Structures are given as C-alpha cells and as structure tokens.
Amino acid sequence: MNLLVTGGCGFIGSNFIRQRLAENNPLLARLVNLDKLTYAGNPSNLADLAGDPRYVFVHGDIGDPILVARVLAEHAIDAVVNFAAESHVDRSIDSPEPFIQTNVVGTLRLLNCARQHWTGLPEPRKSGFRFLHVSTDEVYGTLAPGDPAFTEETPFAPNSPYAASKASSDHLVRAYHHTFGLPVLTTNCSNNYGPFHFPEKLIPLVILNALEEKPLPVYGDGRQIRDWLFVEDHAAALWLVLQNGRVGETYNIGGLSEKPNIEIVQAICALLDRKSPRPDGRSHIIQITHVADRPGHDRRYAIDCTKLRRELGWAPRESFATGLEKTVDWYLTHREWAADITAGKYARERLGTA
C-alpha cells in the first residue's frame, strides 16, 4: 500500500504516522504526508522520521487540486486518510471562515482529486482503493445527562462553526460514495489526548500552565462532560477501519471514559503534585481559575462505539488513568517541544480550553 495522509503533522495525524511506521508493516510500502503547516501543524512532531525511506513529506494544501493530483499520481496512492482540518472550537467562534475553507472547500477538492485518481486505476488497485475521512463527535451536537450516547445513526446537530464545518465535510464524503461510488469510510471520534497535543487544548494547557504556576482556566462550572480517547488507541482504530471497514460506513471511536472537565483538571493536578510538586509544597489545585463559559458550549458528548467493537474487534487499550499518566509523563520529558510551540507568535495568541 502507498498511503497518503493529509494533515499528518498535526496531533492525531502525527501519532497515526508514527504508529504505522513503527510497526514495520510489510504491506505499507510508502507513506506520504501532505500538510499545509498551519499553526497546529508541527514538523518537529515527525522530525526523527526524516531518514525513513518509506516516509515522504510534501508541504501543501488539500485545497490545491493541481498539487493533490500530482501527489496521488506520482506516488501511486492506494488509500487516503484525511486528517487535514481546522479543529479548535474557540478559533471557529473568533473566525469561522478558515474552517469553511479548509474543512468544507478543502475536503471537496480532495474528494474530487481522489475520485479522478480512483477512476483511472487498474484492477485490482481500483477495488482496493479507500478514502478514510477522520471526523468528530461534535457533529452530533450535545447530550443531556441522561441521554444515550451518540451512535452512527444519531442525527447531526452541530452547535459551533467548527462542528458545522465538519458535519458539512462528512455529508460531502457520504455524497461522493452514493453519487459516484467512491469507496469511502468515515470515523467520528471523541476528545483525543496524548503526546504531541497542541498546547491550546485542555489537557496540555493545564499541564503546562500548572508547571509554570499559571492559572488553570476552567470554563463555567467545569461540569461539561467529554468522552476521552487516548490518541494511540484512536490511531489503531483508524488503521483497523481502513483495512477492514465496510465501504460507505461510518464508525464511532470512543475511549469509554466520560469525565467532567473539572475532574480532568483535578486529576492532572494530583499527578503533578506527585511527579512535579510546586516549590511551596501546595497542591496545583490552587491554580484552578473559573472563567466565563464559551458561547454555545455543548454540555456533554458521549460515544457509543459498539459497532466498531462488534465488527472489527476494537477496544481501547488504555484506561483514562493510564493514558493520562502517560500523557503527563510525556510532557514532563518534552518541555522543550512545548516551549518551542508556545514561544513567539503562539505566545501572543489567546489560548483556550476544549
């Protein structure tokens, strides 16, 4: 397989790439990473792969059809995994248009190129081609405390510009399968966490702020509930779906770990109290600061991943406790990575919680 990964320098994409290449799977001949390198695309996430002969980096935009068509043809691509997206809700509230350009227009152009490439493939490569679109549980809207978790049949009800742009891209992927026969797969995941997570998101922001004795911002009462999925478990699920998922189907991927945001922050503080105590001996919990809630903040997300477990035998390997400890340990040993990102232009941007 020659695999094209878009947005591979981002958080989830880079973990997916690292996992694939670490496996030394003889079926994977080449992995091409096409990334625009926006604020969340960090080439240092994959810097140590530069010498791997299977890995090719291409700097570019999924919205550039000439470039995408050339990459698909030159590298004889057999499958596409689309991570490329604007993904931060706060940024979509501040400025929705980039989300429409990347997540909707960019996905449309990528689909057009993939369809043209797939149409011209000889058998059996044509029947084996796949387009995997990576999406989010936010397309489903919000849940009340007693509501059942989102399934693949839950109607879309996006509540932020980010969620609306991802719902639009999901609809386009579905339409290209039903109209043109493009062999697509879609996944909708819950909140990811783990190594290489961009520092404006909740878990890395709390870890880094705690270490720097800065306030730990919590929106509103902090009782917003999310299902938390360790990124390496997500990457493994995506690989299973790409290889064995039924064409045209959607698969929800969740961590089976619903937690209120305030409990996440408290758990991080408890880990850091043990692993990196404050100089004054007090708990990092004293740094928690409640801030005004985000406009239209969804109250609860929860993923039902029964379909994925039943059809493909997947289950998360990490509990939230083990995954969070691994994440905290990673940030403690990669302070320079985080400092490089938050320095300069990133230090001047408003950081928020997810």
Instruction: Check 86, 138, 227, 298 and give the catalytic one.
Output: 138
Instruction: Check 140, 162, 176, 301 and give the catalytic one.
Output: 162
Is residue 237 within 8 A of residue 187, CB to CB? The reply is yes
Instruction: Check 78, 137, 170, 232 and give the catalytic one.
Output: 137
Catalytic (active site) residue 331: no
Separation between Cα atoms, residue 9 and residue 15, nearest integer Å: 9
Phi-psi domain of 184 (left: phi exceeds 0; alpha: psi -120 through 50; beta: other): beta
Query: Which pair of structure tokens corresponds to residue 241?
Result: 């779906």
Catalytic (active site) residue 137: yes
Q: How many whole angstroms from its chain centre is CA 211?
A: 25
Count the helices and strands in the chain (H runs, E runs): 13, 12
Distances (CA, A) of 176 to 166, 185, 327: 15, 11, 38
Q: How many whole angstroms from its chain centre is CA 76?
A: 26
Cis peptide before 124 (omega within 30 of 0): yes
Angle among Cα 141, 143, 148 to the nearest 5 degrees reads 120
DSSP for 64-80, written as a single string: -HHHHHHHHHHTT--EE
Handedness of CA 96, 203, 242, 67 (dihedral sign): positive
Separation between Cα atoms, residue 70 and residue 82, nearest integer Å: 17
Query: Which pair of structure tokens corresponds to residue 272?
Result: 């850091």
Residue type, 335: R
Handedness of CA 223, 227, 231, 233 (dihedral sign): positive
Catalytic (active site) residue 138: yes
Backbone angles phi, psi at 11, to 5 degrees: -60, -60
Separation between Cα atoms, residue 75 and residue 146, nearest integer Å: 49
Phi-psi domain of 24 (left: phi exceeds 0; alpha: psi -120 through 50; beta: other): left
Task: Show which residues are catalytic.
Answer: 137-138, 162
